[in-house]
Amino acid sequence: MILRGLLLLMLLAFGGTALAEPAAERLAALRRGVNLTNWFRYPARADPAAIAGYLGDAAIADLARAGFGFVRLPVQPEFIAADPARLALLGEAIRRLQRHGLAVVVVAHPASWRLESSAPDRAGLLAFWRAVGPLLAGADPRLTFPEVLNEPVFPDDPAGWAALQASALAVIRASLPAHTVILTGQDWGSIGGLLALAPVADGNVIYSVHFYDPAELTALAAYRPGLDTAALARLPFPMDAPGCASAATSAADVPTRELIRFVCARNWSAATVRARLAAAGAWARRNHAALLLGEFGASARLNPPARLAWIGAVRDAAEQQGIGWALGGYDDAMGFGVPRPPGVRPSLDRGMLRALGLSAAAPPARSPP
C-alpha cells in the first residue's frame, strides 16, 4: 500500500509538469514567422560559398522590418550527414538571423526517411540531434527552438510516433536542458495528429500543427496526379456555389469535375477554418499547452483572391486562438515564392503581407538585383 502511494505521488508530480507552459517571452518570440524552406534542404548548390551566401543580410533585415519575429529553418539530416563541416555553416546562418533579432526554429526535415519501418532511419533522427544539439547549446535559448521532426507520418500509429519522439526529446534534452523544444503529432503534423497526441511530462515544450486544408484548394489536389489543375486553380474561397459551379464546368475531365463538386459541397469558409483551429486551441487549453502553427500556405497557381483570402482566414483564426504562426514559406511557392537562391534583396509581395496582417510594417517594394 505504501509503495502504491509513493508511485501515485511520483506519477502526479511527473505528470504535473505537463501542465506548465514555456516562459511568456519564448511564446512571444514565435508569434509571426516564415519558413526558410530551401537554405539547408534541397539546396540548389551545395558548395560552402553558396550555402553561406544563400540569403543576404538586407533580405534578412527586410523580414524583421516587415514584422516577422522568427524563421523556421528546415534542415535535411542527409545533407548534414554527407558533410559534417556543414554544421558550421548552419551555426553561422543561425547567428546571422539572430543578429537581426529573429528567433530561429531548427527542424529536422529528412528527404526520404521511412521512420515507421526503418530502424536505421530512426537511428538517423537521434544521430541528427546528437550532432545538432551541441551546436545549438551555445545559442540563446530565448531565440533558439529545436523542433524534433517535420511532419511525421506514422499512419494510424500515434503511439509509435510518441515513443520515437520521446527518445528524440531525451537526446535533445541531453544537450539543451533550457531550450524550448517543439513537438508534434503524427499524420503529417496535422490537427488530427495533435488531437491523438498525449502531452509529455516536460513543461518547456510547444506543440506544432500544420494546416493546408482543403488540399484540393491549397495544393490543387497534388495528392492525385492527372487532374485539371487549371480548373482547380479557379476554385473560390469562400467556396460559394456560383464560383464552385464555374470551376467545375470549366474542368476538362470528369474526375476533376467530380472532385470539385465534392470539395465544394463541404462549404469551406473562414468559419470552417476557425472551427478547425478552434479544435487545436481546445486541445491546448485542455492540456495547458502552447501551440504553434508551424506551416500554412497555398499554391501560387491558385487565383490570387482565393489564395489571399484563405491565407488571411487561417492567420486570423490562429491569432484568435492565441497560436503563433509561420507561413510556408519565404522561398516556396506556397508562400512568397522568392527565387532560389533569393539573392541580395528580393521583394516581399504586398498582397501576401496584407493577408498576414503585416502591411503597416512592410518595407518598400523592390525588384531583385
| Total residue count of the chain as it appears in this document | 369
* Amino acid (one-letter) located at 47: D
Predicted pLDDT at 46: 85
- Locate CATH 3.20.20.80 in the chain: 22-213+270-361
The CA-based angle 258-260-264, given to 5 degrees, is 120
- Give yes or no for a contact between 288 and 19, defined as CB atoms under 8 angstroms apart: yes
Which stretches within the chain are classed as H helix? 2-16, 24-29, 48-52, 57-66, 77-82, 86-99, 119-137, 158-175, 186-189, 191-195, 215-218, 229-232, 241-250, 254-264, 270-286, 304-320, 350-355
Cell numbers that stand for 3 in this block: 509503495
Q: Note whether 300 and 307 are within 8 A (CB).
A: yes
Separation between Cα atoms, residue 338 and residue 54, nearest integer Å = 12
Residue 276 φ/ψ, nearest 5 degrees: -65, -45
Q: How far apart are the C-alpha atoms of 211 and 276, rounded to whole Å? A: 9
Question: What value does the CA radius of gyration of the chain take, rounded to a whole number of Å?
Answer: 21
Report d(CA 301, CA 169) in Å as an integer: 38
Structural contact between residues 142 and 100, judged by C-beta atoms closer than 8 angstroms: no
C-alpha separations of 91 from 33, 47, 96, 325 in Å: 20, 16, 9, 24
Dihedral Cα 116, 121, 127, 131, nearest 10 deg? -110
List C-alpha distances in Å: 173 to 27, 109, 133: 19, 19, 8
Give whole-number Cα distances, 126 to 33, 132, 195, 243, in Å: 27, 10, 25, 48
* pLDDT score of 354: 96
CATH topology of domain 22-213+270-361: TIM Barrel (3.20.20)
Q: Minimal CA–CA distance to 133: which of 184, 172, 95?
A: 172
- In degrees rounded to 5, what are phi and psi of residue 35? -80, 130
Residues 340/38, Cβ–Cβ less than 8 Å: yes
Separation CA 116–CA 122 (nearest Å): 8
C-alpha cell at 126: 537521434
Peptide bond into 214 cis (omega under 30): yes
Confidence (pLDDT) at 186: 98
pTM as predicted: 0.91
Cβ atoms of 331 and 41 closer than 8 Å: no
Each residue's pLDDT tens digit in the chain (369 positions)? 333 333 333 333 334 444 568 999 999 999 999 999 999 998 878 899 999 999 999 999 999 999 999 999 999 999 999 998 999 999 999 999 999 999 999 999 999 999 999 999 999 999 999 999 999 999 999 999 999 999 999 999 999 999 999 999 999 999 999 999 999 999 999 999 999 999 999 999 999 999 999 999 999 999 999 999 999 999 999 998 889 999 999 999 999 999 999 999 999 999 999 999 999 999 999 999 999 999 999 999 999 999 999 999 999 999 999 999 999 999 999 999 999 888 778 999 999 999 999 964 445 444 443
Residue 57, number of CB atoms within 10 A of its CB:
13
